[in-house]
Structure 1
Amino acid sequence: MKTLRLSLFLLVLGLASCTPKVQVVTLHSPTVTLQDKAFVYETDSLRIQFNFQGENGVVRMNIYNKLDVPLYIDWKRSAFIKGAEKFNYWVDEAYLQGEYSRYGFATPSREPTNRLRPDWYRYDQHVFRSGSIQGIIYKDEPVAFILPKMSMDYARFMVAPGKAWLLPPSKGTVEQVDVLVSESNYKKKKDLIRYEFSEANSPLKFRNYLTLSTDTQFRTEFQIDTPFYASKVENVDGRYLFGSTYTASDLNTPTAISHLPGSYQEQNKFLLLIPVN
């Protein structure tokens, strides 16, 4: 019995060692500041709250119009700029949001189902395919407007699509942190590797460029150009952030940020998954 218990304990530890690690990226900007964990750009005309929380750093904006007149945003002349590459906020195209229904009837053959192609049904030398598409065609407006003393939310781009950056451990500083590795409050010391960057050597630099006006003809247009860069990167066991039951799916939503330790709930932070070797 003791041998069995020891084997189970070693198995749990072995599985724990395969738990996905997380890379926490902290962004800095010379024009956007932290205000009680919110990441804010503010003028006499408007207030933009940027929120990058969640996986891969989606650019989420809440734009509040402080004025007594409407505020217009020209998405055609606004862009997300990463390095030397520009991504337009508006493109002249429509998209369909809906569903496809497929149906058919025939006498099936004795062919094993695992040999059937997924996009059609095969019956004794007869192929019968039919279906219908239902949905709504959408097209984004090139200009948006915000009523006085009102706000709008907008989300479009990921600042770091894909997996975590490969950074050499020798370039970072190592801190020992307590990680809860089981629901029975068993803790284990794990490495948290921290990297600090300046704007010059940062692995990530991007800008958010908006064109706005207080009239529909844009005679009073002005631009807001907010630069960002990754100033800190931390590699750590995912259970340090999310607890012993952490899985990679915990990274997929910004609401998960509310379960993190207080120092990781700031809106200038986002998460990347470090693949298990």
Structure 2
Amino acid sequence: MPKSLPLAVIPFLFCVSCASTTYQYATITSPDMVKNDRREFVVENDSLRLTYNFSGKGGLIHISIQNKMGVPVYIDWQRSAIIANDKARPYAAQEMKVEGNFQSNTYNYRNIGQVQATAVLPQTIEFIPPRAVSNKSPMYYLSGFNSRIPDTAFHQLKYPVTDGVTVKVKKATFTETTSPFSFRSFITYMVGEPGTKPIALEHSFYISEIMNTGSGPVEMAVNKSNRGDQYYSIRY
């Protein structure tokens, strides 16, 4: 008959298991985009307002596109991509979830008397009506836990959370040239009709800070705010 573990040993084993879990918080910076009050990356021109949010586990790319004009905009997701490690991956190949009730692969292109003619768009082309917003999530996982950063790059500190509470972290900071991970996002769109000349928007990002700690997202108040420039990964 197998012997049971002493009751005093069980809490010890549980604590050892907890202590072996490391959470890594990666902060993203862009050299060509500004941040809003939620630390999301925002850029706009006369046609569009584009917002990137990377919050959550694993670095999902959440993209919000607002059509500012009085004519439709067509996003070509097959010719839009994320470029990381010199490899381009079209956004169209990733899972897409569109929020809102305005999505349609059919658009109206002319009236013939009382009959309205329509055309069907390819699945990789998204129609955004005038002054409407498209929210897509998830688009792509950035990267997992980065374990290749040398210990010498980190320094220990007490990181403030809320109400005078601090947690112990190991923190490393990077410039654009020393960053362990950088990537670019490329968005292609057409204005008015899907057959018009495509317009391309390209933006660069890189990891500027990494914090390793035993404190999970619930304890880290910075993550509770759902800040758009930070995501986390877990190593067990």
Change (3 A) 1:45 1:12: same
Query: Is the CA contact (8 Å cut-off) linking 2:149 and 2:180 kept in structure 1?
Result: no
The two structures have a TM-score, normalised by structure 1, of: 0.63
Inter-partner Cα distance in structure 2 for 1:262 and 1:24:
9
| C-alpha distance after superposition, 1:40-61 (max 9, x if no partner) | 2222221111111111111110
Does 1:141 pair with 2:123? yes
Inter-partner Cα distance in structure 2 for 1:196 and 1:265:
21
Inter-partner Cα distance in structure 2 for 1:144 and 1:12:
50
| C-alpha distance after superposition, 1:14-57 (max 9, x if no partner) | 45423x11110111112222110132222222111111111111
Structure 1 stretches of 5 or more lacking a match? Answer: 92-139, 180-186, 244-258
Query: Is the CA contact (8 Å cut-off) linking 1:79 and 1:210 kept in structure 2?
Result: yes
Amino acid at match of 1:58: L
Q: Which has the higher helix share?
A: 1
Aligned to 1:156: 139
Regions of 4+ moved over 6 Å: 4-9
Aligned CA RMSD, in angstroms, stands at 3.0
Query: Is the CA contact (8 Å cut-off) linking 1:164 and 1:274 kept in structure 2?
Result: no
Instruction: Identify which range, 82-91 or 220-229, moves more after superposition.
Output: 82-91
Aligned to 1:219: 196
Aligned to 1:83: 85
The two structures have a TM-score, normalised by structure 2, of: 0.73
Aligned to 2:156: 174
Query: Larger Rg: 1 or 2?
Result: 1
Amino acid at match of 1:24: Y
Q: 2:50 aligns with which of 33, 48, 51?
A: 48
C-alpha deviation, 1:13, in angstroms: 4.5
Instruction: Identify which range, 206-215 or 170-179, moves more after superposition.
Output: 170-179
Note the 1:1-277 alignment, pairs <5 A.
13-18=15-20, 20-37=21-38, 38-90=40-92, 141-154=123-136, 155-160=138-143, 162-177=144-159, 191-239=168-216, 241-243=217-219, 260-261=221-222, 265-275=226-236
Amino acid at match of 1:170: T
Change (3 A) 1:176 1:63: same
Query: Is the CA contact (8 Å cut-off) linking 1:47 and 1:63 kept in structure 2?
Result: yes
Q: How many residue pairs align between the two structures? A: 199
C-alpha deviation, 1:237, in angstroms: 1.2
Query: Is the CA contact (8 Å cut-off) linking 1:39 and 1:267 kept in structure 2?
Result: yes
Amino acid at match of 1:23: Q
| C-alpha distance after superposition, 1:112-167 (max 9, x if no partner) | xxxxxxxxxxxxxxxxxxxxxxxxxxxx712111011111122321111x433332
The share of aligned pairs that are identical, in percent, is 24
Structure 2 stretches of 5 or more lacking a match? Answer: 1-5, 94-121
Change (3 A) 1:200 1:6: same
